[in-house]
Amino acid sequence: MGLVSTPDQPWLSETQQRVWRQWLAANAELSTAVGRQLSQDNGISSPDFQVLVRLSEEPGRRLRIVELARGMQWERSRLSHHLTRMEKRGLVLRRDCPQDGRGQFAELTDQGGHTVEQAAPGHVELVRSVLFDHLPEADLEVLDRITATLVERVRRSDFGEGDAKEPGA
């Protein structure tokens, strides 16, 4: 973003600037399209789907809410409100974990499991059709490297989550 250059600040090259804007546009528009597809075809939102997928992959189909929040990059209070709404729709349950006092679990219900199974194929079809179909193998490898490096650098940056800030595990 931004064209405001200053004399003592190296600015982005023309190509870098174009790529950065394309990156932002791609994400904004892809995120909108993904949400629209899930909503129209399955009556769920993109965050609903993220929660359902995460839980469906866990042993026992449940996960500590604090870990779920971290994985989604959400504030715990925001996730808590979201889970309340999903619970009312029968997609998840919240369970206390009294034996170790380390807070609640979110658990997938049978209905939640059914919903994610119904929703996954259409979602995957969209992701494939816009991103992976016709993407040459060599480009996929480059994108693999770029995204992995980016995640790592953001985490290590002054403004990233940083491993040091994560509770011991």
Q: What is the DSSP string of the chain?
A: ------TTSPPPPHHHHHHHHHHHHHHHHHHHHHHHHHHHHHS--HHHHHHHHHHHTSGGGEEEHHHHHHHHT--HHHHHHHHHHHHHTTSEEEE--TTTT---EEEE-HHHHHHHHHHHHHHHHHHIIIIITT--HHHHHHHHHHHHHHHHHHHHSTTS--GGGSPP-
Among 85, 97, 148, 166, binds a copy of itself (CB under 8 A): 148
Q: Between 25 and 97, whose beta carbon lies closer to a copy of itself?
A: 25
Q: Counting contacts by CB under 8 A, is residue 164 touching a copy of itself? A: no
Binding flags for a copy of itself, 82-121, as an x/- string (CB under 8 A)? ----------------------------------xx--xx
Q: Counting contacts by CB under 8 A, is residue 153 touching a copy of itself? A: yes
Per CB under 8 A, which region of 59-67, 79-87, 88-96, 156-164 contacts a copy of itself?
156-164
